[in-house]
Amino acid sequence: MQSSNPVLNRSDAFAPGHGQAYPGAAPYGQPAPYGYGGMPPQAPAASRPMTLDDVIVKTAITLAVVVASAAVAWWTVPAALVTPAFLAGALVAFAIAMVLSFSRKVNPALLMVYAVAEGVFLGIGSKFIAHWVGDPGIIVQAVLATMVTAGLTLATYKYFAIKVTPKFTRMVVIGTMGFAGVLVINLILSLFGVSTGIGGFGPMGLLFAAIGAGLAVFNLILDFDLVEQGIRQGAPQNEAWRAAFALTVTLVWLYWNILRILAILRGGD
């Protein structure tokens, strides 16, 4: 079983059936004698298996860089450079995301560059939406809604013991790829002056923002499951950066769609 997030697909440590990802780790599905990965507490940090704490800390670091960059872009980018900076942030973030997605090893420094570029994109985009609505408070609402949604998704996954089956995975993968394909086609059409309303603030935009948010939630479930499998497999500690990248991509996607939904429902001034 593979995640729809290509970041996790590049490492066998996140897929069951490949044996132990780290010497001394407990086999997949078996309890580990020393907790996550089965390594004794005194194992060197560079060689020990990944833990849930590693994933949480590195995800928090990555998201903190995104938020800090977004705040700087919000307050410092002059009006004359808003559009170029917005497009540059989007293109740089996309390019680096592709590089990281297909890399066998995630470079933390490059990941931080991605986080900065993503932050610039989100900061300027969020400021535009806040100005369109006429209330900067909508950003706080979107952030809180994203946190609550992610938390509820994790709680549902854990406490209701959601089983991520191959069929469920295929459905999410197909849905995500189809959604991405529609967005690419919409972008190409917009370059020729054709407006479909998908990226706008009308009914069609609301529909696709809702679909995007729903797919983001399903991708979170897949990512939670694959991270859990990586921990059980005894994935190396540096794979926590890969998990952090995967979760950041999905959480940013979720935030952006929730922000659009709130903006469309409230309407502009």
Question: For tokens 């939670």, what's the residue?
Answer: 224
- Concatenated DSSP letters for the chain? ---SSHHHHT-GGGSTTS--SSTTPPPTTS--TTSGGG--TTS-TTTSBP-HHHHHHHHHHHHHHHHHHHHHHHHHS-GGGHHHHHHHHHHHHHHHHHHHHT-SS--HHHHHHHHHHHHHHHHHHHHHHHHHHT-THHHHHHHHHHHHHHHHHHHHHHHTT----HHHHHHHHHHHHHHHHHHHHHHHHHHTT---STTSSSHHHHHHHHHHHHHHHHHHHHHHHHHHHHHHHT-BTTHHHHHHHHHHHHHHHHHHHHHHHHHHHH---
Q: Return the half-sphere exposure (C-beta side, CA atoms, 13 A cut-off) of residue 211.
A: 17
pLDDT tens digits, 70-81: 999 999 999 889
Provide the pLDDT for residue 21: 40
Distance CA 83, CA 89 (A): 10
State the virtual CA torsion across 219, 95, 144, 217 in degrees, nearest 10.
-10
The confidence band for 181, taking pLDDT boundaries of 50, 70 and 90, is confident
Percent of the chain with pLDDT over 90: 54
Res. 107 pLDDT band, cuts 50 70 90: very high
Measured CA to CA in angstroms, residue 49 lies from 36, 207, 242 at distances of 7, 42, 14
- What are the distances in angstroms from CA 246 to CA 23, 73, 93, 165, 241? 25, 23, 14, 20, 9
In the chain, what are the domain boundaries? Answer: 6-32+47-266
The rounded distance, in Å, linking the Cα atoms of 33 and 182 is 48
Q: What is the pLDDT of residue 196?
A: 85
Residue 11 has pLDDT above 70, yes or no: no
pLDDT digits (tens, 9 = 90+) for 139-161: 999 999 999 999 999 999 988 88
CA distance 181 to 238: 32
Give the residue-averaged pLDDT of 113-123.
96
CB 112 within 8 A of CB 65: yes
This prediction has a pTM of 0.81
pLDDT at 90: 85
- Give yes or no for a contact between 118 and 93, defined as CB atoms under 8 angstroms apart: yes
pLDDT digits (tens, 9 = 90+) for 29-40: 344 444 444 444
Average pLDDT for 156-172: 88
Mean pLDDT score of the chain, rounded to an integer?
83
